[in-house]
């Protein structure tokens, strides 16, 4: 049996950034939950998003489509969108689809924080 969890918190050490932590399996079984979560958070006053996939075991095309839809809406509203991922399963999905060339993906949260503080994004 698969599991899924998603949560969003404001980051205290990066003002204006919100960490969306995803864990488990990002697939069709959790489609409604994912869509509801992202729809709710797009209505908030959040400015920038960091989506953390390090605890994701599996992602199917439906999960990927929902993530990409969220990405497009965030960017369209002039907000920032970053991914932190060291999950091999998710890395393969991004590479197979070519999204690793489009999305700002970091191996660790520390690498992203350093890049943001240096202004290299």
**pLDDT tens, N- to C-terminus, the chain (121 residues):** 578 888 888 887 788 888 999 999 998 898 889 888 888 887 776 678 999 998 999 999 998 999 999 999 888 988 899 999 999 989 999 999 999 999 999 999 999 999 988 987 7
d(CA 38, CA 22): 12
Task: Provide the number of structural domains found in the chain.
Answer: 1
Q: What is the DSSP letter of 5?
A: E
Cα 106 to Cα 2, 53, 59: the distances in Å are 26, 10, 18
* Other beta carbons within 10 Å of 57: 16
Tell me which residue range forms the domain holding 73. 4-118
Kindly report the CATH number assigned to the domain that includes residue 19. 3.30.750.24
- Flag whether the pTM goes above 0.95: no
In what side-by-side order are the strands of the sheet with 105-106? 4-10, 17-26, 48-59, 80-84, 105-106
């Amino acid at each position: 049996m698969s599991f899924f969890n998603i949560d969003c918190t404001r980051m205290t050490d990066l003002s204006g950034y919100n960490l969306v932590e995803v864990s488990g399996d990002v697939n069709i079984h959790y489609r409604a939950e994912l869509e509801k979560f992202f729809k709710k958070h797009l209505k908030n006053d959040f400015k920038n998003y960091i989506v953390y996939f390090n605890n994701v075991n599996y992602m199917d095309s439906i999960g990927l489509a929902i993530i990409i839809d969220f990405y497009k809406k965030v960017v369209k509203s002039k907000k920032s969108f970053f991914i932190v991922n060291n999950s091999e399963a998710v890395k393969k999905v991004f590479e197979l689809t070519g999204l690793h060339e489009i999305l700002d993906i970091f191996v660790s949260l520390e690498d992203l924080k350093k890049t943001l503080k240096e202004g290299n994004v």
